[in-house]
Homo-oligomer: A and B are copies of this chain.
Amino acid sequence: MDLDDFYAIIPAGGVGTRLWPLSRQARPKFLYDLLGSGRTMIQGTFDRLAGICGEGHVVVSTGQRHVDQVRQQLPKLGDEAVFAEPVPRDSTAAIALATAVLSRRHGDRIVVGSFAADHVIRDDRAFGRSVRQAVAAARAGYVTTIGIAASRPSTAFGYIHQGPSLADEIPDAPDAHLVSEFVEKPDASTAQAYLSTGEYRWNAGMFVMRADVVLGCLKRYLPELHSSIMAIAEAWDRGADERQEAMEQYWPGIQKIAFDYAVAEPLSTAGGVAMVPGGFDWDDIGDFNSVAGLLPSSGRRNIKILGDSDQVVSLDSGGDMVVPDGGRTIALLGVDDMIVVDTPDALLVAPRARSQEVKDMVGKLSQYGRDDIL
């Protein structure tokens, strides 16, 4: 199957506050190599997508302040492939602007896919197969999501409830189903119930769709957002001055709304959303516990080390997640199942079980006016 009509959008936003003090406002998590793989999150995402649609078909939406770092990490990114946001306006605006501009450049029958810059996908070939089916379903007119097999009753993700098969309707997407509904992050017992039906998958926020379809949806559901985006898109390729003028005029006033709420959920009730299964390991590495789960063991009682393991000396300790990023030796004595993240200007110590609450620490530091380390 030819993918000449497919373009990948990488929304690179989100600080990743639960990964503080590694992740910072000035250097969000997508700029880090959180797996010790030698490639940062956004580099891994770019590589994976470029392998499917070619480097020239990948664009990035990110904050103005991160553009230089993104370009530095992705030297093969095209000159016109970065959408810089002066202020964040959430995922709908990011996806809509890139889609509208690409649509003007390449025609509105192109298929766009949105894939976050800071997710981990382990099996590029399986990912590619899912994307191909998603593109086929998108060409058939569906906004198509890739549903991740729920390997545990997680309460950290939203779920997708799968409806009837679309295999007959879309021969190139034999595993596609209609989406019956999107459901919010459940409590533990609800999550368990979802799993037992076999009909639910995790919503990883990956969407593949024809440009005219998604822009049509936006025009219908959010006409103001749509008209602002179209106005910016019209000016986008008419030179730096016109682009900047349009951005200044329209961008700050655009509604902040997640793509799930703006498009996926309402459209799913109208039978317009499809899902293809993702047959690959996926993680949004939202916190240090996730990072620990993805890192190989250091061989020392399951201590996970992100960085130079020579910098960590442990005695009677196990199950810890250690980030020696401060250039100093970290000595752990009798320390079990803790997070120790050392950076040049801030150190975090917490139990692994409280990984999610790191965002509360960030909140507290913010209250204290400690923007110097946030």
Chain A residues within 8 Å of B, Cβ to Cβ: 21, 313, 315-316, 326-335, 338, 340, 342-351, 354, 357-358, 360-361, 364-365, 368, 370, 373
A334-B354, A334-B357, A354-B334 as given contacts; A329 in contact with B347, CB under 8 Å:
yes
Give the CA-CA distance A346 to B364 in the complex, in Å. 26
B333 and A358 form a contact (CB under 8 A): yes
Neighbour of A354 across the interface among B326, B333, B346, B349, CB < 8 A: B333
If over half of A's interface residues share one DSSP class (helix, strand or loop), that class is named, otherwise mixed; here it is mixed
Q: Which of A328, A331, A332, A351 has the most CB of B within 10 A?
A: A331
Nearest B residue to A320, CB-CB: B349
Q: A333-B349, A340-B349 are in contact. List 14 more A-B contacts (CB 8 A).
A: A21-B331, A315-B360, A326-B326, A326-B328, A327-B345, A328-B344, A329-B365, A329-B370, A331-B349, A331-B365, A332-B350, A333-B358, A333-B361, A342-B347
Q: How many whole Å from A190's CB to the nearest CB in chain B?
A: 26
Residues of B within 8 A of A330 (CB): 346-347, 349
Give the CA-CA distance A308 to B349 in the complex, in Å. 18
How many copies of this chain sit in the oligomeric assembly? 2
A350 and B335 form a contact (CB under 8 A): yes
Q: 5 A-B contacts, Cβ less than 8 Å apart? A: A313-B368, A328-B343, A329-B346, A333-B349, A340-B347
Nearest B residue to A330, CB-CB: B347
Neighbour of A347 across the interface among B328, B345, B360, CB < 8 A: B328
A370 and B313 form a contact (CB under 8 A): yes
A315-B360, A364-B313 as given contacts; A348 in contact with B331, CB under 8 Å:
yes
Residues of B within 8 A of A354 (CB): 333-334
Residues of B within 8 A of A334 (CB): 350-351, 354, 357
Q: How many whole Å from A300's CB to the nearest CB in chain B?
A: 12
Neighbour of A351 across the interface among B21, B335, B351, CB < 8 A: B335
Residues of B within 8 A of A332 (CB): 349-350
Give the CA-CA distance A343 to B373 in the complex, in Å. 18
Q: Which of A316, A333, A354 has the most CB of B within 10 A?
A: A333
Q: How many whole Å from A346's CB to the nearest CB in chain B?
A: 5
A348 and B333 form a contact (CB under 8 A): yes
Residues of B within 8 A of A365 (CB): 313, 329, 331
